[in-house]
């Protein structure tokens, strides 16, 4: 055994996992002799995904180091309240499946910016494409690479730089070649490792807290030893956490009480699940609308499980370190510390494969969506308008490689000094989020919304968010998102009425039957809503 606690069997399990993912990714991406891959094959998986593949891919793409490392860190520092991002997302997925996907699929689009040109004009499309490319490369890709490398460093002692390079190479091997087909089908395998290995770590952490008396006893001790960590709705001034600079700050700044349920959290979730390219792209690749809707409901049920996998271990780490008079700094080291300390040799390989699955699947998804937006919305639109379907595939591969290279270089400088990277991700994507939701929601459901007003909203969203942060720094960032959304909504209404006041010829016609859903979707939506309501009532 070496100093990491890994046995030969751990390395065998992890290497087998890696070879399986790469092998499946390359196998499903193969083309017949003489056949050329088209843009639809590469960017939309030939529009062939069934519901279970869509649901699995949504979760594998969503759950990454941001959750395993970042959300566990927030669970360590704040507690179960951070699970609002997951449980409210389950309700958001119902809205996406019923009201957003039918329109997007009917329009036969490849990208979200493409929809904006259909609804508004090319200027709005280009502005939002630029926003998303910047966020994907400098926030999403960098955070996944950095947090993943932090886990490798804590568990195995691998230097951060080598960890970043290794994860980037792993994701690149199959995703850049195979496109969304490789990403989506390997995600089905990734989500099995992710959930199975994640539950294993939770089980062992609760066993440790329960002093060998079982998982139920361990959970009971968590409730007894850290009652404040099970408050879903935080009160102002009741929980102070490290600020990453040697001081303390109020956790209310991250999760502002009842404002989480009625304010900015909805803006964050609707933007992420409803208008985010690397999420919606799975629905666009479905066989049909019914498969897409069933897929998002399946993903909603999986979201209910995620806090058990990523938040509860963080709370367990808090209790275990408190009892041992130990400290974990920064908070994002909580999950790697658990893997290193409580997952025995012989099982570390499986638990580590779960973490790697979360990291690599998200990297692959983000790379594919970044290349899709650049190729379809920038390259084809402005650089080479006559590019053919088959010629776009190598362009997409080059863009994926370039985006990955930029993220590798910038990951450590951007995130290296943060205590809770999950909160960094949420806050800085939140500068764009209010404008995204206004532009899309008004574009979908209000025919009077005009292109020039939409462009004004796109231009104002970042400076207005920064201005709010400067002049009102004490306000929690979720509340700030909600306020900026309301201001931008007012601008959207006023601007459109000043421009014309009449319905835009490009407005979406909402006809009878457009939002009709099948019995499977309806039953799933009712059950899912009841579960989320019950969880909030229990942990209020």
In angstroms, rounded to a whole number, what is the distance separating the alpha carbons of residues 35 and 147? 39
Q: What is the pLDDT of residues 143-199, one digit of tens each?
A: 888 878 877 777 777 888 898 999 999 888 888 888 888 888 988 988 888 898 889
CA-based torsion, 517, 262, 63, 138: positive or negative: positive
How far is CA 458 from each of CA 453, 491, 492, rounded to the nearest angstrom?
9, 11, 10
- Tell me which residue range forms the domain holding 59: 8-30+38-238+266-412+518-538
Closest CA to 336 of 421, 248, 427, 215: 421
* Residues 469, 474, 476, 479, Cα dihedral to 10°: -70
Number of structural domains (the chain) is 1
Residue 250, phi then psi, degrees to nearest 5: -80, 125
Question: CATH no. for residue 120?
Answer: 1.20.1730.10
> What radius of gyration do the chain's Cα atoms show?
23
Helix (H) or strand (E) holding 240: strand 240-242
Paired tokens of 290: 């019914």
Helices (H), 210-254: 215-225
Residue appearing with tokens 């699929």: 105
Does 197 reside within a domain?
yes
Helices (H), 29-100: 39-44, 51-62, 65, 72-77, 84-95
What does the DSSP assignment read for 306-362?
HHHHHTHHHHHHHHHHHHTT---SSGGGHHHHHHHHHSPTTTHHHHHHHHHHHHHHH
Helix (H) or strand (E) holding 250: strand 248-250
Closest CA to 329 of 73, 149, 148: 73
Q: What is the pLDDT of residues 192-247, one digit of tens each?
A: 888 988 898 899 999 999 887 889 999 999 999 989 899 888 888 777 776 555 66
Helix (H) or strand (E) holding 14: helix 8-28
Per-position pLDDT tens, the chain of length 540: 344 567 888 888 888 988 998 899 889 888 766 677 788 888 888 888 999 999 999 998 888 766 777 788 888 988 899 999 999 999 999 999 999 999 999 999 999 999 999 999 999 999 889 988 988 898 889 888 887 887 777 777 788 889 899 999 988 888 888 888 888 898 898 888 889 888 988 999 999 998 878 899 999 999 999 898 998 888 887 777 765 556 667 778 878 888 888 888 999 999 999 999 988 999 999 999 999 999 999 999 999 999 999 999 999 999 998 877 667 777 777 888 888 788 887 788 888 888 788 888 888 889 999 999 999 999 999 999 888 888 899 999 999 999 999 999 998 887 765 555 556 666 777 888 999 999 999 999 999 999 999 999 999 998 999 999 899 888 888 899 999 999 999 999 999 999 877 899 999 999 889 999 999 999 999 999 999 999 999 988
Q: What is the pLDDT of residues 321-339, one digit of tens each?
A: 887 766 777 777 788 888 8
Secondary structure tally for the chain: helices H, strands E: 25, 2
pTM of the model: 0.91
CB proximity list for 226: less than 8 A, separation 6 or greater: 79, 315, 318, 319, 322
How far is CA 33 from each of CA 146, 180, 194, rounded to the nearest angstrom?
40, 20, 35
CB proximity list for 470: less than 8 A, separation 6 or greater: none
Half-sphere exposure of 299 (CA within 13 A, CB side): 37
* 3-class DSSP state of 242: strand
Q: In sequence order, what E strands does 128-280 have?
A: 240-242, 248-250
CA-based torsion, 158, 58, 197, 19: positive or negative: negative
CA-based torsion, 296, 532, 313, 425: positive or negative: positive
CB proximity list for 169: less than 8 A, separation 6 or greater: none
Does 19 reside within a domain?
yes
Does 465 reside within a domain?
no
Does 255 reside within a domain?
no
Does 508 reside within a domain?
no
Does 494 reside within a domain?
no
Residue appearing with tokens 């666009």: 284
In angstroms, rounded to a whole number, what is the distance separating the alpha carbons of residues 165 and 149? 9
Does 442 reside within a domain?
no
Measured at the CA of 362, the angle between CA 293 and CA 52, to 5 degrees, comes to 30
* Cβ atoms 413, 404 nearer than 8 A: no
Does 497 reside within a domain?
no
In angstroms, rounded to a whole number, what is the distance separating the alpha carbons of residues 396 and 223? 49
Closest CA to 429 of 394, 392, 477, 389: 477
* 3-class DSSP state of 286: strand
Q: What is the pLDDT of residues 518-537, one digit of tens each?
A: 999 999 999 999 999 999 99
* Cβ atoms 395, 383 nearer than 8 A: no
């Amino acid at each position: 055994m070496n100093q990491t606690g890994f046995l030969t069997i751990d390395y065998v399990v992890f290497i087998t996992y890696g070879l399986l993912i790469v092998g499946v990714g390359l196998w499903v991406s193969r083309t017949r002799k003489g056949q050329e891959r088209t843009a639809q094959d590469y960017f939309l998986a030939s529009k062939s995904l069934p519901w279970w593949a869509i649901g699995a891919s949504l979760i594998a793409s969503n759950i990454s180091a941001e959750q395993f490392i970042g959300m566990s860190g927030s669970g360590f520092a704040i507690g179960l309240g951070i699970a609002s991002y997951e449980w409210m997302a389950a309700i958001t997925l119902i809205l996406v499946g019923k009201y957003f996907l039918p329109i997007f699929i009917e329009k036969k689009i490849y990208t979200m910016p493409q929809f904006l040109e259909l609804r508004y004009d090319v200027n709005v499309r280009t502005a939002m494409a630029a926003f998303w490319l910047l966020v994907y490369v400098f926030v999403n890709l960098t955070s996944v690479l950095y947090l993943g490398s932090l886990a490798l460093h804590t568990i195995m002692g691998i230097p951060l730089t080598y960890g970043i390079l290794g994860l980037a190479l792993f994701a690149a091997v199959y995703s850049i070649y195979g496109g969304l087909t490789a990403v989506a089908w390997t995600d089905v395998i990734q989500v099995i490792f992710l959930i199975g290995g994640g539950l294993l770590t939770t089980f062992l952490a609760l066993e440790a807290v329960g002093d060998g008396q079982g998982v139920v006893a361990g959970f009971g001790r968590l409730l007894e030893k850290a009652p404040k960590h099970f408050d879903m709705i935080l009160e102002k001034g009741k929980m102070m956490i490290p600020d990453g600079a040697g001081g303390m700050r109020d956790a209310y700044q991250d999760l502002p009480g009842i404002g989480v349920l009625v304010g900015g959290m909805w803006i964050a979730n609707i933007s992420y699940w409803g208008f985010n390219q690397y999420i919606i792209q799975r629905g666009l690749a479905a066989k049909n609308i019914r498969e897409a809707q069933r897929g998002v409901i399946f993903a909603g049920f999986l979201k209910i499980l995620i806090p058990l996998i990523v938040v509860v271990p963080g709370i367990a780490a808090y209790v275990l370190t408190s009892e041992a008079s130990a400290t974990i700094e920064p908070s994002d080291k909580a999950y790697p510390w658990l893997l290193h300390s409580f997952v025995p040799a012989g099982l570390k390989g499986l638990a580590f494969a779960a973490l790697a699955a979360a990291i690599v699947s998200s990297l692959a998804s983000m790379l594919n969506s970044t290349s899709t937006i650049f190729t379809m919305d920038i390259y084809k639109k402005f650089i080479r308008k006559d590019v053919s379907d088959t010629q776009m595939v190598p362009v997409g591969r080059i863009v994926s490689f370039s985006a990955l290279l930029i993220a590798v270089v910038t990951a450590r400088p951007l995130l290296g000094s943060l205590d809770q990277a999950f909160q960094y991700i949420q806050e800085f994507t939140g500068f764009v989020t209010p404008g995204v939701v206004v532009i899309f929601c008004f574009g979908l459901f209000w025919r009077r919304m005009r292109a020039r007003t939409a462009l004004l909203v796109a231009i104002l969203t970042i400076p207005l968010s920064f201005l709010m942060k400067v002049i009102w720094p004490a306000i929690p960032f979720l509340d700030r998102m909600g306020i900026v959304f309301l201001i931008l909504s007012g601008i959207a209404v006023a601007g459109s009425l000043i421009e014309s006041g009449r319905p835009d010829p490009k407005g979406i016609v909402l006809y009878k039957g457009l939002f009709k859903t099948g019995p499977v979707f309806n039953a799933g939506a009712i059950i899912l809503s009841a579960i989320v309501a019950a969880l909030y009532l229990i942990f209020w």
